[in-house]
Amino acid sequence: MLGFVMRRLIQMVITLFVISVISFMIIELPPGDYLTSYISSLAATGESLDQAEIESLRKQYGLDLPLYARYFKWLWGVLRGDFGYSFSWDRPVSELLWGRLGMSVAVSALSVAFSWVFGFLIGMYSATHQYSAGDYLATFLGYVGLATPNFLLALVLLWVIYVTTGVNLSGLFSREFIDAPWSFAKFLDMLKHIWLPMVVVGTSGMAGLIRTLRANLLDELHKPYVEAALSKGLPENKVFWKYPMRIAMIPFISTVGWSLPGIFSGETITSIVLNLPTVGPLLLGALRSQDMYLAGSLVMFLSFFTVIGTLISDILLAWVDPRIRLE
């Protein structure tokens, strides 16, 4: 087990390194360097920098260095918690990052929880009531859930809620609570809003879970050992929960890892549609104004969280299923 964890940790470090390279590439992608666009945006508002200031900024961001040296300079900053400067917000990226990322992780975690609970219940029902009306309904909804991209679902639900109740559920808080300090009332208000992104982001993952759980359970339910246990007179309920269920549960742990990129992906675009105070709108804004330090850091952290989440789910999986760690 320890060996397995070590191996996965080393792999993770390599993955994080590659992700940092890709993020740096994103920062460097737009034509021209950010200083030029910064200076031109300043010029547009009538301000100007003198040559000495430009030179000092050039030095500070290492724009006179070759590409690889710039990368290592940037990486060194990242390791110390300095992610560069956001020109459009006029603040260091690190100040903007954490609050938004926290919200993103919270919404994503809730979505995973939602897809687990409902995926589990519906999948179990589908498998134990195979070919019933409920099973067909679940299968159909699963298909539609897989086919409907998050942002379209968000758009349609937002519209349906607005037309039927007159409430605009976009955002995470009602207007009077946006800048209010945390209180119980604010928390309740958040609960009123957060279920929508939770359901929207959770459905696509849930559809996959229902399908795998149903298929796995159906495979297990007809195996000889289940028949043997039943023929020995064990109560049906006990047999079901004790054996096939435990094996069929494995995808719940293993798919979290694979589904995390999808969840973060879905969360990004859903929060843009729903205008949540998470990473999505911030990233879109940063990309539109070519605020590349901010954009690159956001992509990097979303990927980091995915990788760490995958690692945790892999370790959990190895712990639950000994076949994996012995591979």
| Binding segment (CB under 8 A) for other proteins, from list 44-52, 66-74, 121-129, 284-292 | 284-292
Closest to other proteins by CB, 3 or 32:
32
Q: Among 1, 6, 11, 130, which residue interacts with other proteins (rule: CB under 8 A)? A: 11
Per the CB < 8 A criterion, the answer to whether 225 and 247 are in contact is no
Q: Which amino acid is at 154?
A: A
| Binding segment (CB under 8 A) for other proteins, from list 85-93, 224-232, 248-256, 285-293 | 285-293
| Binding segment (CB under 8 A) for other proteins, from list 1-9, 49-57, 118-126, 256-264 | 256-264
Our CA dihedral for 156, 161, 167, 169, rounded to 10 degrees, sits at: -50
Could you tell me which of 54, 60, 59 has the C-alpha nearest to residue 36?
A: 54
Could you tell me which of 122, 38, 127 has the C-alpha nearest to residue 85?
A: 38
**How many positions of this chain bind other proteins (CB under 8 A)?**
52
Please state the closest distance from residue 11 (CB atom) to other proteins, in A.
Answer: 7
| Binding segment (CB under 8 A) for other proteins, from list 1-9, 87-95, 217-225, 287-295 | 287-295
- Could you please report the per-residue DSSP string of 25-88? HHHH-SSS-HHHHHHHHHHHTT----HHHHHHHHHHTTTTS-HHHHHHHHHHHHHTT---EETT
Helix (H, G, I), strand (E, B) or coil at 118: helix
Tell which positions 193-232 bind other proteins, by CB under 8 A: none
β-strand partners of 86 = 91
Per the CB < 8 A criterion, the answer to whether 73 and 60 are in contact is no
Q: Among 4, 8, 26, 321, which residue interacts with other proteins (rule: CB under 8 A)? A: 26
Q: Among 109, 147, 180, 185, which residue interacts with other proteins (rule: CB under 8 A)? A: 147
Please state the closest distance from residue 66 (CB atom) to other proteins, in A.
Answer: 21
Residue 302 sits in the site that holds other proteins (CB under 8 A): yes
Tell which positions 153-192 bind other proteins, by CB under 8 A: 155-156, 158-159, 162-163, 168, 170
Residue 268 sits in the site that holds other proteins (CB under 8 A): yes
Please state the closest distance from residue 225 (CB atom) to other proteins, in A.
Answer: 22
3-state helix, strand, coil in the chain (%, to 5): 80, 0, 20
Half-sphere exposure of 237 (CA within 13 A, CB side): 0
Per the CB < 8 A criterion, the answer to whether 231 and 288 are in contact is no
Helix (H, G, I), strand (E, B) or coil at 134: helix
Helix (H, G, I), strand (E, B) or coil at 271: helix
Closest to other proteins by CB, 143 or 225:
143
Please state the closest distance from residue 217 (CB atom) to other proteins, in A.
Answer: 19
Residue 136 sits in the site that holds other proteins (CB under 8 A): no
d(CA 271, CA 154): 9
Please state the closest distance from residue 200 (CB atom) to other proteins, in A.
Answer: 14
Q: Which amino acid is at 298?
A: L
Please state the closest distance from residue 177 (CB atom) to other proteins, in A.
Answer: 19
Pairing of strands 91-92, 85-86: antiparallel
Binding site for other proteins (CB under 8 A): 11, 14-15, 18-19, 22, 26, 29-31, 143-144, 146-149, 151-152, 155-156, 158-159, 162-163, 168, 170, 258, 260-262, 264-266, 268-269, 272-273, 279, 283-284, 287-288, 290, 295-296, 298-299, 302-303, 306-307, 310
